[in-house]
Amino acid sequence: MHRWLLLAVSLSWLAGLSHAQDKKLERLVVANGVISENRVPLWIAKELGLFEKYGLDVQIVFISGAGLSVAAIVGGDVHLAVAAGTPAVAAAARGAPIVLLATLGPTEYQLVAEPAITSIGQLKGRTVGVANFGAGDYFVLRRLLPKLGLTEKDVNTIPVGVTLSYEKLRLMQAGKIAATLSTVESVARYEREGHKLSRLADTLKEGIDVSGTDIFTSRQFLKSNPARLKNFLRAFGEGIAIGMKDREIVYRVVGKYMKVQERKLLEVMVRYRYLLGPNPQKPYPLTQALDLDLKDMSAGSAPEFKGKSAADYIDSGLLRELEKEGFFALP
């Protein structure tokens, strides 16, 4: 994987803020679905005033689920969303005017179960919790089960109504579900806190590419407000750069938003982050993973997706402009 370094602009943070204060800030309403460690670049940008530095008055609102975020964008209630990319691409493939701009990286899921379940075969007839039907983890489960020798009919898949992986683990602990898909970070946190579970499968080891969390907007807003969106990506990108250079800021921000103070636990929670981890990559949407999602859906409940390409619902033009301007650089 390409190692990269996002070069922050030469002006200091305080100088940037001073400049921003000399002009009117442009409003940008951003939907965010979960309070999670993979939102670190956004939290850094918010905490350090990077949005203001680039002339934005960013309001982050909580909307649970990518489907609701898509609806909010189409309805004009929000301008931008940070949520699972698969439902957004699915909506775009059905005609919604949605376009993906960037990614926060893929998600590595683990299929985990209550401690008494120690093998894949023991999952037959048991309840597996997903955030919602049509949510990102639902599509991942549909792709994972056949690789494990199971079908969707072998398990009882139910929507639990929560998108945060750690909260699904709490539901499993309470006996509400027998198994679930959870991010590797959430599983590590859960075990670090002394809880027991069985790890049954891993999407990375099974060769399943997961698009994870993406940044998307409407085609109309992109057409009419490219500069505003570009400034958002500048602040987002500088948040990545700062996080790469100063891990203490990452720990402080994650600790604040996730309400975690233990240093070892914080280290576990941010260890695998795609944009801040050992092999960071540029935040271009993961077209191949999204294509696999469309292919899987076309073979199942959405035959109308057959032959459609995720590339048709992605616009990386703003990221390419930033890279051309020297905002990204490969060593």
Look at residue 278 in the predicted model and tell me its pLDDT: 60
Residues in a beta bridge with 6: 328
Look at residue 260 in the predicted model and tell me its pLDDT: 82
Look at residue 7 in the predicted model and tell me its pLDDT: 40
Look at residue 272 in the predicted model and tell me its pLDDT: 54
The whole-number mean pLDDT for each consecutive block of 10 residues of the chain, a chain of 331 residues, reads: 38 46 85 84 93 96 87 95 90 94 87 96 95 81 91 94 88 96 87 92 86 92 97 92 86 87 79 60 86 78 83 95 74 40
Rounded distance between C-alpha atoms, residue 72 and residue 173, angstroms? 33
Overall domain count for the chain: 2
Domain of residue 123: give its range: 109-202
Look at residue 81 in the predicted model and tell me its pLDDT: 96
Decide if 217 contacts 101 (C-beta within 8 A).
yes
- Asked whether residue 316 falls in the same domain as residue 217, the answer is yes
Tokens found for residue 299: 């073979």
- Asked whether residue 247 falls in the same domain as residue 167, the answer is no
- Asked whether residue 234 falls in the same domain as residue 312, the answer is yes
Residues in a beta bridge with 103: 214
Look at residue 157 in the predicted model and tell me its pLDDT: 96
Which of 202, 236, 258 corresponds to the end of one domain? 202
Report in angstroms the alpha-carbon separations of 108 from 114, 209, 230, 250, 274: 19, 8, 28, 20, 10
Decide if 255 contacts 261 (C-beta within 8 A).
yes
Look at residue 315 in the predicted model and tell me its pLDDT: 97
- Asked whether residue 185 falls in the same domain as residue 316, the answer is no
Look at residue 129 in the predicted model and tell me its pLDDT: 96
At position 304, the amino acid (one-letter code) is E
Place of tokens 């670190």: 40
Instruction: Please tell me the pTM assigned to this model.
Output: 0.79
Decide if 94 contacts 74 (C-beta within 8 A).
no
- Asked whether residue 83 falls in the same domain as residue 159, the answer is no
- Asked whether residue 251 falls in the same domain as residue 129, the answer is no
Look at residue 230 in the predicted model and tell me its pLDDT: 97
- Asked whether residue 144 falls in the same domain as residue 288, the answer is no
Look at residue 5 in the predicted model and tell me its pLDDT: 39
Which of 202, 231, 260 corresponds to the end of one domain? 202
Q: Residue 231: which CATH number?
A: 3.40.190.10
Rounded distance between C-alpha atoms, residue 36 and residue 186, angstroms? 9
Which of 202, 234, 264 corresponds to the end of one domain? 202
- Asked whether residue 179 falls in the same domain as residue 193, the answer is yes
- Asked whether residue 102 falls in the same domain as residue 56, the answer is yes
- Asked whether residue 88 falls in the same domain as residue 215, the answer is yes
- Asked whether residue 101 falls in the same domain as residue 225, the answer is yes
Q: Which long-range contacts (CB under 8 A, 24 or more apart) does 318-327 make?
A: 318/101, 318/226, 318/229, 318/230, 318/233, 319/101, 319/102, 319/233, 319/282, 319/283, 319/284, 321/230, 322/230, 322/233, 322/234, 322/237, 323/282, 326/7, 327/6, 327/7, 327/234, 327/237
| Residue 126 three-state SS | coil
- Asked whether residue 99 falls in the same domain as residue 233, the answer is yes
